[in-house]
Amino acid sequence: MNIAVLGAGAIGSFFGGMLSKKNNVTLIGRKEHIQKIKNHGLQINGKTRLKRKINAVEHVYELNQSPELLIITVKSFDTFEAITQAREIIGKKTVVLSFQNGLNNIDQIKKVIAQNQIIAGITTHGVQLVKPGLIHHKGIGLTVIGELSEEKTKRIHHLASLFNDAGITVSISDHINEDIWKKAIVNANINPLTAILNCENGYLAKNPILTTMIHKITKESTEIAKKKGFSFNTEEMIEQTMQVIGQTKQNNSSMLQSIRQGKSTEINEINGAIAKIGRVYGCDVELNDLLTKMIKTMHPTYL
């Protein structure tokens, strides 16, 4: 299949590199990373080891044909700009697949692309861009994809096989819209708390004050999700959050990494988005709002 990855940073380069074993893949990313890949190939180490020559370009308009699959892996605050840039090369048959975190990505993509061309995905793989050309696969995770309609179509089966054939285990979700919310609720705990406390994920499970805080943040977020029509409950979400903390105890969350690097975070698209939706329904949004504001005070561009 002819595939392009828009936003070839950590996760995009990982998926793109793996898929390139059996497909014609082009990575679209930033200059230094792309130049390194052009000159020396892409290298992945850690849980996956791979070194490959792979097509790489800096701008979406350098693609010479519409991809059959366009994977979006920019950070969620860049989604609208990236998909707008890509509009020219998205053909009627191109399928657009988002693997991003946060609650706004599909809505942003829908502003530019017809809904029936969009597929949602989430992944819990842990990947870092160590330096241009080099990706570190830190933790093996689960990856699911699903039609927005949640139908089990022929194309969703085809896409899942494409990933599985390339060595990335992908299953088809029965309820991808719920999965996106659940991941956002887990992230709404782990990301801001680790960024504020400057700690590894595992620290959150060691301290009873923090455990209580996680219960409260999860309750607030889950109540908001319920208003959106999701039926999962607070206890289930607390359990899932504590499980992820346990499985990733030695990881630095992406938000902590962004703060340390002086980069923008996805706080607006995670806690900010949960609070915004909660406000519409008249829910209590105090904790998500507070965490959003605290993270904003930690980043110079928000001040």
Ligand X SMILES: NC(=O)c1ccc[n+]([C@@H]2O[C@H](COP(=O)([O-])OP(=O)(O)OC[C@H]3O[C@@H](n4cnc5c(N)ncnc54)[C@H](OP(=O)(O)O)[C@@H]3O)[C@@H](O)[C@H]2O)c1
Chain residues that interact with ligand X, rule: CB under 6 A: 6-7, 9-12, 28-30, 73-76, 78, 81-82, 85, 99-101, 123, 125-127, 129, 254, 266
User: How many whole angstroms separate alpha carbon 246 and alpha carbon 266?
Assistant: 22
Q: Which is nearer to ligand X, 7 or 146 (CB)?
A: 7
Q: Which is nearer to ligand X, 50 or 129 (CB)?
A: 129
- Is 92 among the residues known to form the active site? no
Rounded to the nearest whole angstrom, what is the least distance from the CB of residue 208 to ligand X in the complex?
29
Rounded to the nearest whole angstrom, what is the least distance from the CB of residue 11 to ligand X in the complex?
4
Rounded to the nearest whole angstrom, what is the least distance from the CB of residue 99 to ligand X in the complex?
6
Closest CA relative to residue 68, chosen from 31, 18, 117: 117
Q: Which is nearer to ligand X, 153 or 168 (CB)?
A: 168
Rounded to the nearest whole angstrom, what is the least distance from the CB of residue 241 to ligand X in the complex?
16
Name the closest residue to ligand X (Cβ): 9
Instruction: Tokens for 131, please give them.
Output: 């330096």
Sort 253 into a burial class: Cβ within 10 Å, 0-12 / 13-18 / 19+. buried
Q: Which of 75, 111, 183, 226 is catalytic?
A: 183
Angle between helices 271-280 and 176-197 (to 10 degrees): 120
Q: Which is nearer to ligand X, 11 or 287 (CB)?
A: 11
User: How many whole angstroms separate alpha carbon 231 and alpha carbon 158?
Assistant: 29
Q: Which residues are catalytic?
A: 183
